[in-house]
Amino acid sequence: MNEHERKIHKLCQELIPVFDELDAETQEIINEHVQYCSICDNMLDKWDFLNESVGSTEINVGNDFEIKPLKKLIHINRGLRLLVILVRVLVLFVISFNTLRFHESGDALALQTFQSATFLFYLPAAIFLLVFTWMFLNKKWFLYSLVVDLVILMATWQFQLFY
C-alpha cells in the first residue's frame, strides 16, 4: 500500500460511520476502496447491519410501547419541592431562634429585630426560591410559593397590629 492508498484508507475509516450523509461522489470513492480493502468492507457491512437494526428497533419501539415517565426525574422533582419548603422553614427558624435568643418574646425590640431580620434574610431567600420554583417546578408550585411568601411577609410586617 502506497502513501496515497493509506490516506484513502484512513479517510474511508473516518467516513464510514456517516456514510448515508455523504454526497454521491464520496460514497462512490468509498465503494471503490471497499472492493479491494477487506477491513473497510467489513466495517461498512457492520455499519449497514447496525444502521438497519437500530432503524427497525426505533420503528418498533415507537409503535408498540408507550414511554413511561422517568422515575428518577419524578424523585428529583419531589426532592426539589422538599428542598424549597425546607429552606423557607430553616430561614424562618433561624430568624425566630436568634430573635428569641437575644430578646424576650414580648419586647418591642424583639419585634423590630424579627421584622428587620425577615426583611434582610427571608425576603431575598424568598425571591431566590420563587425564581428557582419558576425555573424548575411547575406554575402551580410557583403560585403556592408566592402566596405563602406573601402571607409570611405581610403577617411579619403587620405584627404591631397584633399587640
Q: Helix, strand or coil for residue 149? A: helix
Task: Quickly state the pLDDT bin for 147 (edges 50, 70, 90).
Answer: very high
- How large is the average pLDDT for residues 108-129? 84
CA distance 154 to 156: 5
By residue range, what is the domain housing residue 150?
Answer: 71-162
**Domain co-membership, 105 together with 154:** yes
Q: Are residues 42 and 77 in the same domain?
A: no
- Whether 131 and 52 share a structural domain: no
Cα separation, 144 vs 150, whole angstroms = 10
Mean pLDDT of the chain: 78
Same domain, 58 and 82: no
Instruction: Clarify whether residues 79 and 103 are in a common domain.
Output: yes
pLDDT score, position 113: 81
Local confidence band at 108 (pLDDT 50, 70, 90 cut-offs): confident
Domain boundary (15, 44, 64) is at 64
| Percent of the chain predicted with pLDDT > 90 | 7
pLDDT-derived band at 146, boundaries 50, 70, 90: very high
In the structure grid, which three cell numbers stand for residue 83, read together? 428542598
* Top-confidence residue, 68 or 151: 151
- DSSP sequence for 30-80: HHHHHHH-HHHHHHHHHHHHHHHHHHHHHHHHHHH-PPPPPHHHHHHHHHH
The structural domain count of the chain equals: 2
> Residue 121 in 3-state DSSP?
helix
Same domain for 49 and 77? no
What span, in angstroms and rounded, lies between the C-alpha atoms of 117 and 123? Answer: 9
DSSP character for 118? I
The last residue of a domain, from among 31, 47, 64: 64
Task: Give the model's pLDDT for residue 135.
Answer: 85
Whether 44 and 91 share a structural domain: no
> Which residue is associated with the grid cell 419501539?
61
